[in-house]
Amino acid sequence: MILNGLPRLGYTALRLTTETGAPPHHESWVRISHWILAAALLVLVFTGVAILMVHPRLYWGETGNDLTPALLELKISRNYRHGGWTAQTPFFQAPGSAISAVRTYDIFNQNGWARSLHFLSAWWLAIPGVLYLVNGLARGHFRWPQYGRAQRLAYRFIVFVAAPLMVLTGMTMAPAVTAAMPFLLRVFGGYQSARTIHFFTFVVLLVFTAGHVVMVIRSGFRRQMRGMTLGS
C-alpha cells in the first residue's frame, strides 16, 4: 500500500513545493492541539533520552537488569557496559541460580528531574491528545481529503497507532497503573517488553517528525507555519 502511495506522495510534494498560493487553512482546535502536542513531544523526547541514558539496555519479558543479558545495548551514556558490580552471590544452591551483586560504579543518573518532567509532559500529550482524537473523530477530521494517499496513511498511523501505543506502553511501566489494569502487562508481554516497544515506537515517531518537518520546509515553510499558527 505504501508503495502504491509513493508516486502520489512524490507528486504531492512536488505540487506543494511549486505552490505559492494562500497558506493551508487549519481550524483553531487543530492549531492549538498541534502546538501543545508538539511542545509536549519535544520535552518527552528530551527527557525520554535522559531516562534511557540511565539504563541504556533493552530487554523482552518482565525482567531485565545489569545481571541479566540484554536484547540490545545502546552506547549513549557512561553507563553503557559499565560492569561495576561486586562478586556475584547466588540466591540458590542449584547451578545457574539467580544472583545478586552490589553496584560499585557511580552511574549517570538524572532521573530525579527527567522522570518528573517526562510525566508532566506526558499529561500534556495524553489529555489534549484524547481531546484531539475525540473531537477529530466527531468532526471527520481524519479523512484528510487534501492529503495524498501515503501521507494520509502516515498521519493515520501516527494518530491511531503510534501515539496511543506510546501512551499505553508508558502506562504499562507504571506499577500503580498495572495494579489496576493488569491486562496491559499481558498485552505487551511484560514490563520490559513494553519498555522496548516504547523505545522503538519513539524511533518511529522521530522518523515521522523528521519527515514531517522536511515536508513542511519543502512545501513553503513560512506559508505552512502561517497556516498552523494564524489559521490562514
Q: Which residues bind another protein (CB under 8 A)?
A: 51-52, 54-55, 57, 62-68, 85, 89, 91-92, 98-103, 106-107, 109, 111-113, 115-117, 119-120, 123, 131, 134-135, 138-139, 173-180, 182, 185, 191-192, 195
Residue closer to another protein (CB basis): 21 or 92: 92
Distance CA 69, CA 65 (A): 8
Q: What separation in angstroms does the CA of 126 have from each of 37, 121, 133?
A: 9, 9, 10
Instruction: Please check whether residue 6 is in contact with residue 209, taking contact to mean a CB–CB distance below 8 angstroms.
Output: no
Taking the complex as a whole, the smallest distance from the CB of residue 107 to another protein amounts, in Å, to 8
Residue closer to another protein (CB basis): 17 or 88: 88
Taking the complex as a whole, the smallest distance from the CB of residue 220 to another protein amounts, in Å, to 33
Dihedral sign of CA atoms 54, 59, 62, 65 in order: negative
Residue closer to another protein (CB basis): 11 or 105: 105
Taking the complex as a whole, the smallest distance from the CB of residue 153 to another protein amounts, in Å, to 27
Taking the complex as a whole, the smallest distance from the CB of residue 89 to another protein amounts, in Å, to 8
Q: Is 232 exposed, middle or buried (0-12, 13-18, 19+ CB in 10 A)?
A: exposed
Residue closer to another protein (CB basis): 13 or 51: 51
Taking the complex as a whole, the smallest distance from the CB of residue 207 to another protein amounts, in Å, to 23
Q: C-alpha angle 147/148/153, rounded to 5°?
A: 90
Residue closer to another protein (CB basis): 45 or 153: 45
Distance CA 43, CA 122 (A): 9
